[in-house]
Structure 1
Amino acid sequence: MEFLATIDWAVIAQIIMIDILLGGDNAVVIALACRNLHPNQRRRGIMWGTAGAIILRIALVAFAVTLLQIPFLKFTGGILLLWIGYKLMVQSEDDEGHELEASDKLWAAVKTIIVADIAMSVDNVIAIAGAAGQVDAAHHQFGYIVFGLLVSIPLIVGGSQIVLYLIDRFPWIVTLGAGLLGWIAGGMIFSDPGLIKHFGAGIENYATIAGIAAAVGVMLYGEVMKRQKKKTKQA
């Protein structure tokens, strides 16, 4: 009750805005991971995946400063995102056929959402922790973080539903989604503290170029491999 009585809505608004601006890519990942689920399971996949991602993000916020200083963490996260973008792109609707039970496919989608969210959440987590740091009482900061993230859940879920709706009608959006992950990955890799320490701060100037190259690379390579898989199945 004390928290609700003294809540600073300006800080809450900042946290929600950060999560919306930096979490738009999360909605894309959620949609891509759930697109091959049965329509009756999509909502469950989105809800469980989002819930797991939010819980882990809350835990990561507590270690935001430490995370920022770990060399090659963002580099590793970027490589992981490239792989996820490729896998999500080449995965066709009938890849798993009937070999897996529906529940297995559901939990596979949930795991993909959580892993991708962890990889993308470093900057997001640090930004949210910085906004909450405006609160004087240290024991209230965590409450602000949790409250702000919980409020943003419906926005992320809603965004995922919209992307899924569009993917069903325009399948080429999957390629753009994979490209988005490549763009994020390239920027993460070239802003990694470990690389900056070894190559100097100037390496960050190439983050945009790296993002473009990674986005184009994921889309082209994914498209080539997807067509190759189709030819193999038809042979």
Structure 2
Amino acid sequence: PLIHLGGGLVLVWIAIQLLKGGDEDAHIEAKNSLMGAIWTIIVADAMMSIDNVIGVVGAAKGHLELVIVGMLITVPIIVFCSTLFARIINKFPVILWAGGALLGWVAGEMIVEDPLLMPYIQGEESLVKFGTVFFVLIVTGMIKIWKKRDSQ
């Protein structure tokens, strides 16, 4: 109990941050040693890929084979194609919105499938579907509101 709920809420937060964006530069402290620099790279890579891991695990719905295949496919794409993908996203921002909506969808599924909530919604398929769509709307709706407010 609470693992799906917690992972889903983290994924909602990540999706909102992804779509919210921000023009601020990242401030990373320069390190004086090789080990310090290596540690900074390891931590940065781990933090940037956490949404990928949670998303793949959530989409796999408990199938270990799908988690393994998903990680084998997505990790090389993230490592080797991130610059190319960033250029494509800058050219076609709808991809970013689709990705954020997909993260919201997976997060919604994870949240409504948490064992803690199951006794309350079990057998209510329409409620499960509504909960999933609700999180897509939360992610995309909040961003539209923030962006509209910031432009005023």
TM-score (norm 1): 0.48
Q: Deviations over 1:10-29 (max 9, x none)?
A: xxxxxxxxxxxxxxxxxxxx
Q: Which residue of 2 aligns with 1:49?
A: none
Query: What pairs with 1:172-187 in structure 2 (closer than 5 Å)?
Result: 172-187=94-109
Q: Distance in 2 between matches of 1:78 and 1:107?
A: 22
- Whole-angstrom CA distance in 2 between matches of 1:188 and 1:226: 27
1:194 CA drift (Å):
1.2
Unaligned runs of 5+ in 1: 1-70, 132-144
Among all aligned residue pairs of Structure 1 and Structure 2, give the percentage whose two residues are the same amino acid. 24
Contact 1:182 1:215 in 2 (8 A): yes
Asked whether 1:192 is paired with 2:121, we answer: no
- Corresponding residue to 1:95 among 24, 37, 51: 24
Q: Distance in 2 between matches of 1:181 and 1:200?
A: 22
User: Residues 229 and 95 of structure 1: is their aligned pair in 2 closer, same or farther, counting only changes over 3 Å?
Assistant: farther
Q: Is the 8 A contact 2:4 2:110 kept in 1?
A: yes
1:112 alignment counterpart: 48
Structure with bigger gyration radius: 1
Work out the CA distance in 1 between the residues paired with 2:131 and 2:42: 33
Change (3 A) 1:164 1:223: same
| Maintained 8 Å contact 1:190/1:203 | no
Pairs within 5 Å for 1:12-161: 71-92=1-22, 94-96=23-25, 99-100=27-28, 107-108=43-44, 110-114=46-50, 116-120=51-55, 121-122=57-58, 124=60, 126-128=62-64, 149=69, 153=72, 155-157=73-75, 159-160=77-78, 161=81
* Residue 34 (structure 2) aligns with: none
Aligned twin of 1:207: 128
**CA deviations over 1:197-230 (Å, ceiling 9, x no partner):** 3x15224542222222211221121122134345
Letter of the 1:209 counterpart:
F
Measure, in 2, the Cα distance between the counterparts of 1:207 and 1:125.
15
Contact preservation (8 Å) 2:58, 2:110: no
Separation in structure 2 between the aligned mates of residue 101 and residue 169 of structure 1, nearest angstrom = 31
CA–CA separation in structure 2 for the residues paired with 1:110 and 1:225: 28
Structure 2 residues without counterparts, runs of 5 or longer: 31-36
RMSD: 3.4
Contact 1:196 1:203 in 2 (8 A): no
Per-residue deviation, 1:74: 0.8
- Code of the aligned partner of 2:11: L
| TM-aligned CA distance change 1:225 to 1:110, over 3 Å | farther
